Amino acid sequence: MQGTIVIKIGSSSLTTVTGQLDAQQLNSHVEAMVFLMKQGYRIVLVTSGAVAAGFSSLGFKRKPKGIAQKQASAAVGQSLLMQAYMDAFKHHDYIAAQLLITRADFADQQRFSNISQTIGELVKRGAIPIINENDSTSIEELTFGDNDRLSALVSGIVHADMLCLFTDVNGVYDQNPFSYPNAKKYHYLSEVPETLLDAMDQTTSDVGTGGMFSKLSAAKTAIELGANVFIGTGEGEEKFADVLVGKGDGTYLGSFAKNTMSMTKQYILYHSSPRGTIFIDDGAANALLKQHRSLLPAGIVDVNGSFNIGEIVDVRRENNEVIGKGKVNFTNEELDLLKGKNSAEVIKATSRSKKAVIHRNFWVAM
Ligand code: GLU
């Protein structure tokens, strides 16, 4: 079995500016995915296009900006989009399956894990999970922001080997190639340089939501989660296969060493809301950050907030610098009593065998 590939296709690669699905483009993406699947790759598709495919049916001349108008357009467009994918995959004897996700689904650890199991089962059975944000129910403040980010988070969930951010630009440039003809293209970046992100134009296209800034930010997240990333374009049945053998027309990003992050750590880092803060001394910070050890009560200097066993807390140095997040094995009241105490004293006071306040497997540095 080959690896797992997450492919993200944007609205502008699927629809026309006047708000119609572009069947020819959609079919050509499907053909290229089928080509990969026939070689044994598992594909998870993150697709935009619901709003862009739906607005014209509701009488809008161009993609609306208001929330209710976008949500209504998505309700129309999502079914058109899905129908088109189902038909196109069926033509090649593949089953397509729809998953509509909101950020609130990711914030709940049970739902987060259910999403992962559903995707896993679909992929195991040879179906293609087709994911989009549930635009019609998402509240603006609680959206993923754009599907670039959603696809990066999905690549973590499925422990993808590669995230392919497929777009109409052939890679990442040091300046906007449309305004600066001498802009230089990056063929490979081991990581996303902050300087490049800072210099990026954050504007978006008329049809899609994410510009290059959002693609690079998504690439950064996907790399942290252990995936490699391709940002670029291509044509024909072999366009995705070309990406995997290094012949893609775009930019490759990442270390290309497989080192994926566990689901628990992904949840802690990206989706959980910390319930409090634990302040620790430099010795404990060193043990966590450099020696990859667990956090013990002896290193705690102060505790803030009200939390239960199993909840997530921020961990800060005494100077307030955040160094990470983790799942606590004690309540805030317990830690108030136990802070600064050594392990023998802790066991005596609580008769609990778990000495670690945060076990290293449930800890993520930031
Ligand atoms: N979920 C939106 C849609 O399907 C697109 C979000 C994006 O373009 O990033 O229209």
* Alpha carbon nearest to ligand 1 atom 8, residue: 209
Do 42 and 123 form a contact (C-beta atoms < 8 A)?
Answer: yes
The C-alpha atoms of residue 130 and residue 153 are separated, in whole angstroms, by 14
Question: Mean of the pLDDT values across residues 174-180?
Answer: 82
Q: Is 188 exposed, middle or buried (0-12, 13-18, 19+ CB in 10 A)?
A: exposed
More confident residue, 264 or 236: 236
CATH 2.30.130.10 fits 272-365, yes or no: yes
The C-alpha atoms of residue 344 and residue 266 are separated, in whole angstroms, by 33
The C-alpha atoms of residue 242 and residue 124 are separated, in whole angstroms, by 24
Closest approach atom of ligand 1 to CA 47: 4
In the prediction, which pLDDT does 92 show?
97
Q: Angle between the 147-157 and 109-124 helix axes, to the nearest 10 degrees? A: 80
In the prediction, which pLDDT does 140 show?
72
pLDDT (tens digit, 9 = 90+) per residue, 273-299?
899 999 999 999 999 999 989 999 999
Which range (47-56, 222-231, 325-334, 348-357) has the least confidence? 348-357
Q: Which residues contact 332 (CB under 8 A, 6 or more apart)?
A: 276, 303, 304, 305, 306, 307
In the prediction, which pLDDT does 177 show?
82
Residue 45, SS3? strand
Confidence tier at 353 by pLDDT (50, 70, 90): low
Edge-to-edge order in the sheet of strand 322-327: 300-305, 276-280, 312-317, 322-327, 363-365
The C-alpha atoms of residue 141 and residue 287 are separated, in whole angstroms, by 37
Q: Does ligand 1 lie within 6 Å of residue 209's CB atom? A: yes
Question: Mean of the pLDDT values across residues 229-250?
Answer: 93
Inform me whether the pLDDT recorded for 206 exceeds 70.
no
More confident residue, 8 or 178: 8
Ligand 1 geometric centre to CA of 120 (Å): 23
Q: Does ligand 1 lie within 6 Å of residue 146's CB atom? A: yes
Ligand 1 geometric centre to CA of 79 (Å): 14
pLDDT (tens digit, 9 = 90+) per residue, 72-108?
999 999 999 999 999 999 999 999 999 999 988 988 8
Q: Does ligand 1 lie within 6 Å of residue 136's CB atom? A: no
Ligand 1 geometric centre to CA of 298 (Å): 48
CA dist 136 to 18, 57, 119, 315, Å? 21, 16, 22, 36
Q: Does ligand 1 lie within 6 Å of residue 218's CB atom? A: no
* Domain covering 4-264, topology: Carbamate kinase (3.40.1160)
In the prediction, which pLDDT does 193 show?
87
Confidence tier at 205 by pLDDT (50, 70, 90): very low
Pair type for strands 249-253 and 172-173: unpaired
Per DSSP, the residues of 194-263 read HHHHHHS-----SS-S--HHHHHHHHHHHHHTT-EEEEEE--STTHHHHHHTT--EEEEES--S--PPPH
Inform me whether the pLDDT recorded for 39 exceeds 80.
yes
In the prediction, which pLDDT does 89 show?
98
What's the token pair of residue 288?
């966590």
The C-alpha atoms of residue 58 and residue 236 are separated, in whole angstroms, by 33
Pair type for strands 172-173 and 185-186: antiparallel
Q: Does ligand 1 lie within 6 Å of residue 51's CB atom? A: yes
Closest approach atom of ligand 1 to CA 135: 1
Q: What is the mean pLDDT of the chain?
A: 90
The C-alpha atoms of residue 333 and residue 8 are separated, in whole angstroms, by 46
**Exposed e or buried b for every residue in 29-38, given b needs 16+ CB within 10 A?**
bbbbbbbbbe
In the prediction, which pLDDT does 274 show?
93
Do 51 and 14 form a contact (C-beta atoms < 8 A)?
Answer: no
Q: Does ligand 1 lie within 6 Å of residue 49's CB atom? A: yes
Per DSSP, the residues of 47-84 read E--HHHHHTGGGT-SS---SHHHHHHHHHHHHHHHHHH
The C-alpha atoms of residue 220 and residue 346 are separated, in whole angstroms, by 40
Closest approach atom of ligand 1 to CA 48: 4
Do 238 and 32 form a contact (C-beta atoms < 8 A)?
Answer: yes
pTM: 0.82
Pocket residue to mutate for ligand 1, from 71, 80, 132, 207, most atoms within 8 A of Cβ = 132
More confident residue, 350 or 216: 216
List, by residue range, all CATH 2.30.130.10 domains of the chain: 272-365
The C-alpha atoms of residue 126 and residue 130 are separated, in whole angstroms, by 13
Residue 361, SS3? helix
Confidence tier at 27 by pLDDT (50, 70, 90): very high
pLDDT (tens digit, 9 = 90+) per residue, 252-262?
999 887 677 88
CA dist 47 to 78, 134, 235, 282, Å? 10, 12, 18, 45
List, by residue range, all CATH 3.40.1160.10 domains of the chain: 4-264
**Exposed e or buried b for every residue in 47-76, given b needs 16+ CB within 10 A?**
bbbbbbbbbbeeebeebbeeeeebbbbbbb
pLDDT (tens digit, 9 = 90+) per residue, 115-143?
999 999 999 999 999 999 999 988 776 67
Pair type for strands 4-9 and 42-47: parallel
The C-alpha atoms of residue 285 and residue 194 are separated, in whole angstroms, by 25
